[in-house]
Every structure is written in C-alpha cells, then in structure tokens.
Amino acid sequence: MADHLQYMETQIITHNDCSRRAAIFAALYPRDVVKPIIHPTSHICTLQPRGIGLCFGDSGSMLVANGQAVGVIVSGVRLCAQANAAPDIYTRVSSYADWIDGYINDLN
C-alpha cells in the first residue's frame, strides 16, 4: 500500500478497441482474466504503458478528466500493469448521474 496518493496518466481508447483487446487478453490468460462485456454507454476503457496501471486494491479508483470524476474502475487484469494490451475498464459516472443525484437528495 502506498504512503501517498498515486496517480497515472492514461489514454482513453474506443469501445471496439477495448472489446478486441479484452477478448485477446482473456484468450491468452483464461485463468487471470474474465472477458468483460463492454457497453459503450456505461463504460470507459483506458490503456497505459507497460509497468503502469491498476492492480489489486485499486477497485473504486476514479478516472478524472478536467478535474471531474468521469469513471470508477470496475475491471482490470490480475497481472497488474504487465502488458500494454490489456485495457482497464471504468463505469461511466454520467450513466448513473440521475441515480447518484436521487440518492444524495434522499439523504438531505
């Protein structure tokens, strides 16, 4: 566990590229990867260089763009930043904005 907040710069990739890469990686490492179903309206995929990426304990981490949380990590691979072929998959926050707003309003 890190002693201070960690961050990385990453590249958003298309959903077609994400699905293709996820399928290839799942076929190469069937014991380490569950092939995800990627929904263009509810997921954002990123790709980063080898040696940089998400790992165990990073679930719930945010994808931030222009100072706003745009995604929450939901899927990666068990091989922790080992290959630049495997995408990280985030839930798109905007897909759940109405639910989040409703929940917060109910708390008030």
pLDDT exceeds cutoff 80 at 40 = yes
What is the greatest pairwise CA distance in the chain? 49
- pLDDT over 80 at 78, yes or no: no
Give the CATH number, domain containing residue 27: 2.40.10.10
Asked if residue 67 belongs to a domain, the reply is yes
Each residue's pLDDT tens digit, 52-77: 777 777 888 899 999 999 999 886 65
SS (H, E, C) 24-74: HHHHHCCCCCCCCCCCCCCEEEEECCCCCCCCCCCCCCEEEECCEEEEEEE
Q: Is residue 2 part of a domain?
A: no
With pLDDT > 70 as the criterion, what percentage of the chain qualifies? 84
Domain span holding position 101: 11-107
pTM of the model: 0.81
Does residue 101 lie within any of the structural domains?
yes
Question: Is 99 in a helix, a strand, or coil?
Answer: helix
pLDDT band at 32 (very low <50, low <70, confident <90, very high): low
Q: For the chain, what is the domain count?
A: 1
Kindly tell me if the per-residue pLDDT of 94 is higher than 90. Answer: yes
Q: Is residue 3, in this structure, part of any structural domain at all?
A: no
Predicted pLDDT at 15: 92
CB atoms within 10 A of CB 45: 26
Q: Is residue 30 part of a domain?
A: yes
Which of 73, 86, 72 lies closest to 32 in space, CA to CA?
86
**pLDDT, position 92:** 95
